[in-house]
Structures are given as C-alpha cells and as structure tokens.
Structure 1
Amino acid sequence: MRRGVLISVMLVLAACSPTASLERVSGPTMGSSYTVQYVRTADGPTPQQVRREVEQVLEGVDQRFSTYRRDSMIEAFNRLPANSCQWMPADVLELVAVGEQLSQQSEGAFDLTVEPLLDLWGFGPQSRTEAVPGVQALADVRQRVGHGHLRIVGEQLCKDEVVQVDFNSLAAGHAVDVLVARLEGLGIANLLVEVTGELKALGRKPDGSAWNIALELPRDDRQIARQVVPVDGFGVSTSGDYRNYFEENGQRYSHTFDARMGKPVRHDLAAVTVFDRSTLMADGYSTLLLILGPEQGWDFALEHQLAAVFVTRVADGFVSRATPAFEHVLLKD
C-alpha cells in the first residue's frame, strides 16, 4: 500500500536494566513490513502477546483501506456506480474527512480520488504498464477524479461520480497511531512502532537513551544516512519520489500526482520528512508538501507551522533545509 520512504531506525543496544529488556517483533503487512520495538517490564506482555495484538490491528486496517485486495471495504466502495452510498466504520470516515481537509488546504493538489490516474500512468493497483497516456485518455480519467464527488452522510460514504478512493497517503500513518494506542493500553510506555516506513516513538530505550531515526539521502541505489534525529512523542513520515518512477523520452515521471493537473509533479523536491504528534497527519502532510514542491511546499509548511525537512535536487547532489518548527522539535528533545 505504500510508497518508498527515507526513514530507517537506528538501534544502539546498550546494557539493559535487570527489570526491563528491549523486545522486537516484526513481519509483513500492506505489501511491505512492520516493526515494533518496546521496553518489556517484568509484568508486561510477552512478544507473542504483542505480535497477536499488532497483527490483529494491521489486518483490520488492511481489510478496510487496502486497494490491493478485492475484499477490502474501500475496494467494495470503489466498485460502486455513481450516486451510491456504503456504510463505513468510523476510522474510514475520519480519514476521508482528513483527506478533505488536506484537499482544501492545498487548493485541490492533494486528493484521495487519484487512483484512476495512478492506474492510467502505471502506478496503481489496476495498472497494466508504465507509460505517458494520450491526451484523450487523460481527459476522460480526469472526469472521475475530485474530492468534491465524495460526501459523508451519517455513517455512510457517498459519491456522485464513479470515483475511486486511495488511502495510500494516510493509511500507514493511521495504522501506526492505532498500534501505539493499543500497545499503550497493554501498559507499554516506551516503544517505537514502524509500519511501511511511517513511525512513532514514545519514551526511551532501557538504558535511558532516545529512540533514534536516520533521515537518509534520497537515493535508489543504497541507503546513506544524512542526519540522525532523536524522537519522543512524534510521528514521522517521509514522502519521496526516488524509488517509484519511470522514464520516457528522457523525462522522469514519479508516482506523486498533482490532482489539479492529472499528471506527476515536475519539480526538484526529492523528499520531505514531517514530524507531528499525529502520525496520520505527518503522513498526509509529507505527501501534500511533496506535491506542492520546494517553493510552494516550503511556504505552506511555514504558514501551518509544520516541523519538516525538505531535500531538493541540485546539480551536484542534494540540499536540505528544515523549518523553524523542526528546529524547535530538536531543541525540545
């Protein structure tokens, strides 16, 4: 369900206290993987218990939001004709509402209904080949894109056009937040949860040191850390165009779409990392900023006081810059 990201977890294992240990569970999910690391105390849950809880949550999220399985709730909605409604659980409606907020804030650049465009260009679940579409094909598909075609009526999600919803820019961040809440409910206070690259950390490791993450350079050939950041209480999301793209006639086309144009974005912003108390919002805003680009995205981040790091391509490599809100996050940690 997810794009490539630029975050990796830095583990520095030090001596643990006799009453606490660092435990780790991981596995496949959403076409990628998850990892949960937590400090286990004498009366805390076992790794087996944690794994059961985690995989139950992730299976539920996947069953509701995945566009890669025909039995998911959102795919059932996507198959409905125009002027149809379907009952949806509260978290699906919550993410639709967040999508509407981000669409309005970006003046339509961010949009949850771009799945037909992704399929047309070769990036979606129904894709056949990666290629630049013809003018008429693009015009036809654009008629079926637009958040304005969705509305929430009570507990139902409705549409007045044959639109298809894609939660890839929000679902993983939401899954992280749900997992963190579930693990806190089990009495786990110190943890790091990562799902398909989106993550959140709370508390400290057994030796009292911070959970560290490495922000990497946006390269598709190897991983190179450019900055190590301590995280406590923040969700972290990176959106980048460096892994999922194709080239045609010397032009690079990424999987990041501006819904207003119906085409992949064409600018020099390679990646954006966003820190937010809500991993869901970090996930959405990182995508939104990547769509807007290095200038408009930067202005948006400043206006909305987002803690963000921008990595831009230049002739001899990359240049990064961080917003004042990001520097404030570092000082607080």
Structure 2
Amino acid sequence: MNRVAIPLDIAPPAARLRGATVVEFGGPTMGVSWRVKAVAPPGFDLAKVQARVQAALNAVVAQMSPWEPGSDISRFNGAPAGAWMDLPDAFQHVLHRALRWAEVSGGAFDPAIGRLVDLWGFGPPGPVEAPPSDSAIIAALAAGGWDRLAHDGRRIFQPGGLALDLSGIAKGFGVDEVSAVLTRLGLVDHLVEIGGELRGEGLKPDGEPWWAEIAAPPGLALPGGPILAALHGLSVATSGDYRRVLEHDGRRYAHTLDPRTGRPVEAGLRSVSVIAATCMDADALCTALGVLGPDDGARFAAAQEVAAHLLVEDEGGLREIISPALAALLD
C-alpha cells in the first residue's frame, strides 16, 4: 500500500482547470534533460514557452556550470589570488543559500569543494583510475572550504586556489527557475523535472495534485512501501550512493564527498530524499544529510524541521528513517 504525503494547504481545483488539457515538453540541460507537464490555457504557444524555459536554463549553465570554460563559476575558479569578481543576481542568490546551509550543517554541505571533486574524478577534468593520495587530499582541503570565501553581497573574493562547485544546489535552482518562468507565462499548474528532481505547482485538470514517488535505489524497495508526495507548491530531490562511483580494486567510492574529511562518505546511506518549499533547498539538504549520515542526519533533519527520508543499509538489512516533518505530512 502506498503511503501518501500531502501538504495541509492543498486547495480545491480552480475553474480554470475545467476542460483543460495537459501538455508535455522538454529539452537538454546540465548533462541531463528537463521535462515539463503543464495545464495548457487557451492560446498556449508551445514554441515560445519551450524557448523561454531553455533560455532560463542556459543562463543557469552559463553562470554556474564548471563544465563550461567561459561560465562565471569557471572564471572565478581560475582567477588569480586577490581578485574580486562581480556576480549575476541568480549566482548571488544560489551562493547565498549554499553558504547558509554550509554554516547550518557545520560544513557537511560546502559549495567550495571544487578541488576535491576534481581530485576524485567527479568534476570537469574527468574520471580518475585510483583514489587520490593522502597528501593530495590534504592539499585540496587546505585550498577549499566555504569559510575561506569572502564576499560583500555582490562580489566574491578569490583567496587563491579556491574552486566553487554548485552541483549540489544548482540543479534544484534550475527546477525553481523553470517553475517561475512557467508561472509568469500563465502556466500556473505544472510539474517540472530535471534529472530526477521535481517541483509541482497547482493541480491537474482532474483536481489531483502532481504526484511524485520517493525514489529507492535500482533493484530495491522502501521497507515500509512506496511513498507518494503531493507536489502542491512543493519540491522533492533525491541523492544516492548508486548514481556515480569510482571503482578501484573491487571497492566502490560514492560521489558524495565529505568536505570535512575530503573523502567519500561511508555511512551506509543508500539514498536520501527531501521534500521542501524550494527545489534548491531540497537539493542542498539531500547532500548535507548524505554527508552527515543516518544518526547525525536524522538529528539535523529534526532540528531544522526538514521533511526527509533516509534509506539505510547495515547489518540488519534495509531500514528507513522518517523525519518528524515528513511524518507530519504522512499523518
């Protein structure tokens, strides 16, 4: 039987939904794809909407993708020590939120781990054949760290060798941006998905909310049964130890790195899902909880009132941790 998470403020369907139809469209972005389902009003111009969405996502990539040599983040990462750099508004917004979660999580989420990400083969330079040496990890830790990043609101300061990596939050921000574009264009009832991260607004024509299932790793099922979340003004993001790995000498190293140790996490967490008001926050919180691990992560989720689902594999098999905020949605 499905477990269902429903926000308390879900509203009845509006008159605009009567007789409306749902359209689907999408495109490429951030190495994955984006997809939209939207309730189409009269006069809907698919080509215009699709172009506006793609332009918004292209702007996110141009600002925050380290895979783009000319992006704002790449220019900062390559800037000499002592350089100040002006930031576009969207970049400022994302970085401000990233630094907030870095501070609150005690550095479990850190937007300044670009050197570590590259060192382990998960960044733009490409895969590596073996784990890095202890000395290389120590050097990358010394060069990074969110607390080395000085900023004055509109500008950030390059202290020398610091590399930003916003992959733990930029995709979620992209989802939020697409949702905002659709709303401005009159498509107020919609579901947005980028690489498995979703945001829903409004309702479907039948009065049902946009449903999303809390994802389990391939080949596994949640011990308590599937969880369906009603994305009515909500977002959901999921991260797991199965998505990208480094394999060496029969050992698998997960792509989630602990910024405090410089090494992949080994906490037994198979997946983490977060439901939040914005996809940007859901994205960042998934990373933070994955780094904190089952025990500290559960305490953090409870203290921060985060609606989170943690799937843990230990000696007793699979078990799930449901935070109090998620349990309230399931009641």
- State TM-score, norm by structure 2: 0.89
| AA in 2 matched with 1:190 | D
Identity %: 32
What does residue range 114-263 of structure 1 map to in structure 2 within 5 Å? 114-219=113-218, 226-263=226-263
SS of match in other structure, 1:294? helix
Partners of 2:86 and 2:155 within 8 A in 1: yes
- Whole-angstrom CA distance in 1 between matches of 2:250 and 2:130: 13
| AA in 1 matched with 2:288 | L
- Whole-angstrom CA distance in 2 between matches of 1:204 and 1:196: 22
SS of match in other structure, 1:161? coil
Q: Does 1:47 align with 2:33?
A: no
- Whole-angstrom CA distance in 1 between matches of 2:69 and 2:257: 24
- Whole-angstrom CA distance in 1 between matches of 2:153 and 2:135: 37
SS of match in other structure, 1:238? strand
Q: Who is 2:7 aligned against?
A: none
In the TM superposition, residue 69 of structure 1 has moved relative to its aligned partner by: 1.1
Residues 249 and 316 of structure 1, relative CA distance in 2, 3 Å threshold: farther
- Whole-angstrom CA distance in 1 between matches of 2:215 and 2:101: 26
Q: Any unmatched runs of 5+ in structure 1?
A: 1-16
In the TM superposition, residue 185 of structure 1 has moved relative to its aligned partner by: 1.0
- Whole-angstrom CA distance in 1 between matches of 2:192 and 2:76: 30
- Whole-angstrom CA distance in 2 between matches of 1:203 and 1:71: 37
SS of match in other structure, 1:260? coil
| AA in 2 matched with 1:310 | L
Q: Who is 2:308 aligned against?
A: 308
In the TM superposition, residue 262 of structure 1 has moved relative to its aligned partner by: 0.8
- Whole-angstrom CA distance in 2 between matches of 1:254 and 1:154: 34
Q: Who is 1:267 aligned against?
A: 267
In the TM superposition, residue 294 of structure 1 has moved relative to its aligned partner by: 0.5
Residues 275 and 166 of structure 1, relative CA distance in 2, 3 Å threshold: same
Residue deviations 1:279-309 (CA, integer Å, cap 9, x gap): 1111111110011001000000000111111
Q: Who is 2:66 aligned against?
A: 67
| AA in 2 matched with 1:83 | G
- Whole-angstrom CA distance in 2 between matches of 1:130 and 1:104: 33
- Whole-angstrom CA distance in 2 between matches of 1:254 and 1:287: 12
Residue deviations 1:164-220 (CA, integer Å, cap 9, x gap): 10110111111111111111111122100112222100111111122111222212x
Q: Who is 1:322 aligned against?
A: 322
- Whole-angstrom CA distance in 2 between matches of 1:65 and 1:18: 40
- Whole-angstrom CA distance in 1 between matches of 2:270 and 2:305: 21
In the TM superposition, residue 48 of structure 1 has moved relative to its aligned partner by: 1.6
In the TM superposition, residue 315 of structure 1 has moved relative to its aligned partner by: 4.5
- Whole-angstrom CA distance in 2 between matches of 1:78 and 1:271: 30
In the TM superposition, residue 274 of structure 1 has moved relative to its aligned partner by: 0.7
- Whole-angstrom CA distance in 1 between matches of 2:320 and 2:153: 44
- Whole-angstrom CA distance in 2 between matches of 1:295 and 1:199: 26
SS of match in other structure, 2:298? helix
SS of match in other structure, 1:62? helix
- Whole-angstrom CA distance in 2 between matches of 1:223 and 1:164: 37
Partners of 1:121 and 1:127 within 8 A in 2: no
| AA in 1 matched with 2:210 | W
Aligned alpha-carbon RMSD (Å): 2.1
- State TM-score, norm by structure 1: 0.89
Residue deviations 1:49-104 (CA, integer Å, cap 9, x gap): 22011101011111111111111111011110121111111121122221211111
| AA in 2 matched with 1:54 | V
Residues 314 and 139 of structure 1, relative CA distance in 2, 3 Å threshold: closer
Partners of 1:87 and 1:156 within 8 A in 2: yes
Q: Any unmatched runs of 5+ in structure 2?
A: 1-16
- Whole-angstrom CA distance in 1 between matches of 2:127 and 2:278: 35
| AA in 2 matched with 1:172 | K
